[in-house]
Amino acid sequence: MKFRARLFLAILLPAVVLVSVAVAVAVIDIRGRAETAAREELGRTREAFEGALRETFDSLRRQSGPFGGTPFTAAISECVASGETGPVKELMGNEFQYLGFTPDLYELRDRKGRLLIRRSALHECAKDCVHPFQKWIADRDEALTEFDGEPFLALRIEHDHGYFVFGSHLRRTLDNLSLKYFKIGVVLTGGGRAVYSSVPAWTPGAGTEGDVVLGGARYRASSARPEKSELDLVVLLRPMTDVERLQGRALLLGAAGVALAVVVAGLVSFAVAGGISKPVEALVEATHRVGAGDYAAQVAVSGQDEMARLARAFNDMTEGLRKRRDIMEKTLSRDVADELMKGTELGGERREVTIVFLDVRGFTSGTQGVDPVEVVSMLNDMMHRLARAIDRNGGNVNKFLGDGLMAMFGAPKPLEDHAFCAVRASVEIQKEMAEWNAARTARGLPNFHTGIGVNTGAVVGGRVGSRDRLEYTLIGEEVNLTSRICGKAAPRQVLITKQTHDRVQGRVKARALEPVVVKGLSYPIAVFEVEAC
């Protein structure tokens, strides 16, 4: 994951957590406050409902005086004497909902059981319209009950001939109550069915409490059975739309907070990463270049912050590596340096190479009595020229041997046609020596000449030495043979063995010489003198 993405997440995640916690706390607080408000409102509504019932009972009781007094008794007596119901109907008028006489539900009888008036003569209704009064008429004076499928407050009045029950429908009272407490729905059920509801098409079950969902809206419900009630249940409802609205606002604000956090995190990560990731990417790219061997890699430095200090330190490091690489390349060839950079494990591999040995003839005697500083300066100038000829032809100077050197072609990196390259480099070395001597002659200085031996064969090339100090070199009989051939070469002469001649024949002008006997070998060695290349 990139630094910019990590920085973005590092800013965003804590912000999202904080916003989420704030929203959760807000929702919990809203919920708690709403539950408290719902309990209080439901309590006030329950009190208002019970108060409305008490007021209705009191009103009925105040207005029932005539029916329990002499006029009503006289009217009943007249009905009993004459058999006419007019006096009772006239007395009742239309002020109250008539329910019926008792103890008989269908006809009025006196205490001796004599039939006085049939119920149907006084009130026209369904046969079972007074059925609910059977539950309480024997032992109650008033009750909240049901009549003709509606909630009803009933009052029992005793007279000389029995009991008379009448009362008032409650729909208008309950409608007014629902309007007054517009957040409240009132539902009454009796006998398992709804007899009144301010919430259409809903019948609550027994013990309905807590949250209910009606028509996609959520309500807080509280149920009870009122005192003096023949109904099963009274359920009070409080809509929770205001709570959902507040919770929705909290969630909306939370979403807005998260969106703002995303924007801020994006802007900050872009701004900060622009000042960090770009320099870091530049450092990474430069580091890869250094790893590939490009010690000239540098990064731009701007400012005085930590990244600028890091960039300066990197540049100082590459400068140091560059100096060390220059020293290594002056001490070793680039190919050898690259080979040693691969590791420090000792060992080698067999390969075919062409080896070149050269030696400056008469150098020791020719420099006798000369200041050593001048000797070293002269030797360095000469070896610089000779090493360039070897480098131009793909060879590597393996080591300088005082006034001579050893070069290898085909190691440590493979070189196509290494034998020809070695012969051509040897011819160029003799030309370089001729030019160098001509310049010395012009200054009145003595000349020096080189003898060169060239041989091709299989050797072992690899890292040798100790674990603390090692070098890359070639080991094998062919190396020793080349050194011996070089010792047989006269000044200005390039001698090659038959193995080398076989690989360059036809491209190099060479003449065969008498075989030579070298130290360490019991048989003569065929050699050729290179005349032109």
Distance CA 244, CA 400 (A): 93
How much is the average pLDDT of 377-392? 91
Domain's final residue, options 232, 247, 275: 275
For residue 342 the two structure tokens come to 């691969």
Distance CA 499, CA 526 (A): 9
Residues 527/513, Cβ–Cβ less than 8 Å: yes
Q: Are residues 76 and 160 in the same domain?
A: yes
pLDDT band at 104 (very low <50, low <70, confident <90, very high): very low
From residue 263, give the alpha-carbon distance in Å to each of 10, 18, 317: 13, 16, 40
Residues 30/253, Cβ–Cβ less than 8 Å: no
Q: Are residues 260 and 358 in the same domain?
A: no
How much is the average pLDDT of 158-175? 70
3-state secondary structure of 480: helix
List for the chain the helix, strand, coil content (%; round to 5): 50, 25, 25
Q: Nearest Cα to 256, choosing from 21, 31, 16, 27?
A: 16
Sign of CA dihedral 73, 74, 75, 81: positive
How much is the average pLDDT of 133-158? 66
Does residue 365 lie in a domain region?
yes
Domain's final residue, options 139, 169, 199: 169
Does residue 288 lie in a domain region?
no
Instruction: Check residue 94 and give its pLDDT.
Output: 40
Distance CA 27, CA 32 (A): 8
Q: Are residues 326 and 353 in the same domain?
A: no
Q: Are residues 524 and 462 in the same domain?
A: yes
From residue 116, give the alpha-carbon distance in Å to each of 106, 131, 165, 307, 329: 11, 21, 17, 114, 141
Q: Are residues 379 and 422 in the same domain?
A: yes
Does residue 337 lie in a domain region?
no
The burial class, CB within 10 Å (0-12 / 13-18 / 19+), for 486 is: buried
pLDDT at 318 over 90: no
Q: Are residues 393 and 486 in the same domain?
A: yes
DSSP secondary structure letter of residue 516? B
Does residue 336 lie in a domain region?
no
Q: Are residues 301 and 437 in the same domain?
A: no
DSSP lists the bridge partners of residue 159 as 162
Instruction: Check residue 508 and give its pLDDT.
Output: 93
Mean pLDDT computed over every residue of the chain: 76
For residue 455 the two structure tokens come to 């041989």
How much is the average pLDDT of 12-34? 81
Does residue 356 lie in a domain region?
yes
DSSP lists the bridge partners of residue 117 as 108
Does residue 47 lie in a domain region?
yes
Q: Are residues 410 and 326 in the same domain?
A: no
Peptide bond into 446 cis (omega under 30): no
Does residue 261 lie in a domain region?
yes
Q: Which residue range(s) make up the domain with 68?
A: 64-169
Q: Are residues 426 and 399 in the same domain?
A: yes
Sign of CA dihedral 435, 437, 440, 444: negative
Residues 232/225, Cβ–Cβ less than 8 Å: yes
Q: Are residues 352 and 378 in the same domain?
A: yes
pLDDT at 64 over 50: yes
Question: For 246-283, what is each residue's pLDDT tens digit?
Answer: 878 888 888 888 888 788 877 777 776 666 667 777 77
pLDDT at 58 over 90: no
Residues 116/110, Cβ–Cβ less than 8 Å: yes
How much is the average pLDDT of 399-409? 90
Does residue 30 lie in a domain region?
yes
Q: Are residues 481 and 349 in the same domain?
A: yes
- Number of domains making up the chain: 4
Distance CA 289, CA 314 (A): 12
For residue 382 the two structure tokens come to 């000469």
* CATH, residue 121: 3.30.450
DSSP per-residue string spanning 347-399: EEEEEEEEEEEEEEETHHHHTTTS-HHHHHHHHHHHHHHHHHHHHHTT-EEEE
Radius of gyration of the chain (CA): 61
3-state secondary structure of 413: coil
Q: Are residues 498 and 394 in the same domain?
A: yes
